[in-house]
């Protein structure tokens, strides 16, 4: 179901990068290859899509009118895209919100660098304004216009809506580790209510928010920006979006960085189970660190012992939630689990997680609730961003559901519990969310090859909780021109996470077109 930075920006930036559920040394002898300078030279681009459909020509020929965003240094615009690419020109369009920050110079302008923070459901514009447009390495921002967009169904772009604030508060507290038939029935009812709310409020866009739709929108954006090739950095789910684009339009690929990669060939069930194992790996790293601290709220001993104590705490919260400062939302098992998961995305959040767990174990759930709220993008006034709505809408359209019903969850529980003794049960039941979706899936799991594309850099972090390292290995192997860059570390995604080796390798690729040698490790 995921953007990526818990502490350095906002809640927007954590959650998108890991919501797939419903988130230096060099090795080898691979060659480095220079891709064309983005948007300016290096071979002819693929034929204009107007050759595919004359009805698409007006969309490709549109010009963006830029206006002030209300955020210093940024400009915004709106792009039109057909609601249904099978029926362009039918009069049914969606408005795609776009933002940019012009290249700051000095140096030759290289075109536009489009960024996506993940999710699905993360606001690209929020990510651009809060982080990428001001926090990407200065040499990159000097030579590229930094650009992003809210994909269709997200935030400013015909957003999917499902439940109001009070209903979402109730939804996020539903027990996802049911102990009896009554609790199972309540969980199923919650998933059905969520799906029905999406259908009632978003019927028009719901069938048209797939990753393929968003990738085709991204090609319209490339054309509207005046770039012959797309240069792009996608994080987490953004790697699936980027790989889908490359597979659809290999001749229009410039320089693509896919950081925290997904494996498009994995089924929904396998993705959820793999991610469950990923969070167990991340928790193990946290546990090893926690026991070395002066006051670890989960005690000492092995990671397994630490995990057992966390599970025991969750069981206590299931029976008796603790006060959180919000009488309508005491800290129960579901919200506490979400708070822990939120902090596992970023090693920098571990101290905050230790403090929050310690407070909750002493009867004050406010800090752990705040972590959960950041994950869900819940504002202090009780309103939710549409992250969770768009997340489900895209995931449930991209692949058939992981499970046919509760009986199928029962059958899979042992494998999820093996993948994560701490989180397995909850993650298995959470994977039931698409089962009751009102729109049939239009996509399926399949390998993406992007045959004929120039070198594409795939980045994997060895102990990434949300996008396990093996996914990056798989995607790099599937892509005809994929090259794997490995970060041996913790946390979700690697670019901009403090590794000079990673940042230097990616900056060189973006600025000079030199991909890292195959098998490079940092």
Q: Which residues are catalytic?
A: 236, 464, 492
Specify the 3-state DSSP secondary structure of 29: coil
What is the helix (H) or strand (E) element at residue 482, kind and residue range?
Answer: strand 482-490
Q: How many CA atoms lie within 13 A of 393 on its CB side?
A: 32
**Residue with the two structure tokens 């098998």:** 519
Contacts of 234 (CB under 8 A, 6+ apart): 115, 116, 118, 240, 241, 242, 256, 257, 258, 259
- 411 CB contacts (<8 Å, ≥6 apart)? none
CA neighbor of 453 nearest in space, from 486, 485, 478, 487:
478
Helices 333-343 and 303-319 pack at an angle, to 10 degrees, of 150
Burial class (CB in 10 A: 0-12, 13-18, 19+), 364: middle
User: What residue has token string 């901009």?
Assistant: 496
Positions of E strands within 364-463: 456-463
Q: Are 264 and 447 in contact (CB under 8 A)?
A: yes
For residue 45, give the DSSP letter.
Answer: P
User: Which residues does residue 289 pair with via DSSP β-bridges, in sequence order?
Assistant: none
What sign has the CA pseudo-torsion 443, 446, 452, 458? positive
């Amino acid at each position: 179901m995921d953007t990526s930075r818990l502490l350095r920006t906002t809640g927007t930036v954590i959650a998108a990068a890991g919501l797939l559920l419903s988130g230096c040394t060099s090795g080898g002898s691979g060659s480095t290859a220079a891709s064309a300078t983005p948007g300016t030279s290096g071979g002819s681009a693929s034929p204009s899509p107007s050759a595919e459909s004359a009805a698409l020509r007006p969309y490709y020929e549109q010009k963006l009118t830029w206006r002030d965003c209300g955020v210093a240094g940024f400009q915004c615009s709106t792009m039109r895209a057909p609601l249904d690419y099978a029926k362009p020109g039918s009069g049914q369009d969606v408005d795609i919100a776009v933002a940019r920050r012009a290249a700051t110079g000095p140096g030759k302008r290289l075109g536009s660098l489009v960024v996506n923070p993940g999710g699905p459901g993360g606001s690209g514009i929020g990510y651009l304004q809060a982080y990428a447009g001001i926090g990407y390495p200065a040499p990159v921002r000097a030579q590229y216009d930094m650009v992003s967009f809210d994909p269709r169904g997200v935030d400013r772009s015909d957003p999917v809506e499902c439940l109001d604030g009070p209903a979402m508060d109730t939804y996020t507290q539903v027990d996802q580790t049911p102990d009896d038939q009554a609790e199972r029935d309540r969980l199923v009812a919650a998933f059905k209510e969520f799906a029905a709310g999406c259908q009632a409020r978003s019927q028009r866009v719901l069938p048209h928010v797939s990753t393929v739709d968003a990738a085709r929108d991204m090609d319209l954006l490339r054309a509207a920006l005046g770039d012959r090739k797309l240069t792009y950095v996608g994080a987490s789910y953004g790697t699936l979006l980027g790989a889908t684009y490359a597979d659809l339009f290999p001749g229009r690929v410039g320089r693509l960085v896919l950081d925290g990669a997904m494996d498009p060939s994995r089924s929904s069930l396998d993705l959820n189970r793999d991610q469950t194992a990923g969070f167990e790996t991340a928790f193990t790293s946290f546990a090893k660190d926690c026991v070395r601290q002066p006051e670890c709220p989960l005690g000492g001993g092995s990671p397994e012992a630490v995990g057992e104590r966390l599970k025991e705490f969750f069981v206590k919260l299931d029976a008796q939630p603790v006060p959180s400062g919000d009488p309508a939302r005491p800290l129960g098992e579901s919200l506490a689990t979400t708070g822990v998961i939120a902090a596992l995305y970023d090693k920098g959040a571990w101290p905050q997680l230790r403090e929050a767990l310690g407070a909750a174990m002493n009867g004050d759930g406010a800090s752990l609730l705040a972590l959960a709220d950041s994950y869900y993008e819940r504002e202090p006034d009780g309103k939710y961003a549409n992250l969770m709505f768009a997340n489900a809408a895209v995931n449930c359209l991209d692949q058939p559901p992981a499970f046919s019903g509760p009986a199928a969850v029962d059958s899979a529980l042992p494998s999820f519990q093996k993948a994560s003794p701490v989180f397995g049960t909850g993650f298995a039941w959470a994977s039931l969310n698409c089962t009751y979706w009102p729109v049939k899936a239009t996509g399926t799991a399949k390998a993406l090859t992007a045959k004929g594309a120039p070198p594409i850099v795939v980045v994997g972090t060895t102990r990434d909780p949300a996008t396990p390292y093996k996914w990056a290995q798989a995607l790099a192997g599937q892509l005809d021109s994929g090259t794997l860059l490995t970060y041996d570390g913790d946390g979700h995604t690697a670019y901009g996470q403090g590794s000079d080796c990673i940042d230097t390798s990616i900056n060189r690729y973006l600025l000079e077109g030199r991909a890292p040698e195959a098998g490079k490790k940092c």
